[in-house]
Structure formats: C-alpha cells, structure tokens
Amino acid sequence: MYAVLEHEKVIYNGKEVSLFSVLEKSKDENGVPQLKVKDGAKTLEGNEIDIEYLRSIKRRIKEVNQQTHGAMNTEDKGVLSQRMLGRLVLNFR
C-alpha cells in the first residue's frame, strides 16, 4: 500500500509530490478517525482528487496485494487446505 501511495504523484502547492504526503488523519463529527486528502491537492492532469480517483488507487493496491500474496478467494482456500492436509498426512505416515 505504501509503495503504491508513494509511487502515485499528485500536484500540491505547485509541486509534484507523492499521494501519501497529501493524506492526513482527521476525525469526523462523531470522533471517528478518517483519512483525508489535503485541500488543494490535484492529479497530474490538474483535476481535483475525487472519490473515483481514490477508488482507482484502491483497486491498484488490491491488485498489487493479490499479485504479491495470491488471490485468497474461497475456492482457492479449499484447495490450499486440502493440499496442506494431504502433505501433513503424507509427512507423518
């Protein structure tokens, strides 16, 4: 996640900086912590950073995570546990 956020560049105060550097912690009216984009941050194309842009970053983070650790969907978990159990049984036969 940090690598994707550091790699993604945005414009803030006229300078090109990482997306990670323009994120800040805040709290909503109920005191619940939130992550917020600093005012004035824009994409390299000059557009405001909106929810669609952040969703695309979230998808990219998810893709990188799946490439690194594998997609752990429900079908793969069953196959993985069967293989692990089989190897365990054969190891201690």
Segment 6-63, tens digit of pLDDT: 999 999 999 999 999 999 999 989 999 999 999 999 999 999 999 999 999 999 999 9
Q: Which helix (H) or strand (E) holds 41?
A: none
Residue written as tokens 């557009």? 47
Q: What pLDDT score does 34 carry?
A: 92
Give CA–CA dist 50/67, Å, rounded.
26
Q: What pLDDT score does 84 carry?
A: 67
Please state, rounded to an integer, the average pLDDT across all residues of the chain.
85
| Sequence-ordered list of residues with C-beta below 8 angstroms from that of 65, at least 6 positions apart, any chain | 1
* Residues 49, 87 contacting (CB under 8 angstroms): no
Query: pLDDT class for 81, splitting at 50, 70, 90?
Result: low
Q: What is the pTM of this model?
A: 0.69
- Strand ranges of the sheet holding 9-12, from the earlier edge strand across to the other edge: 15-18, 9-12, 42-43
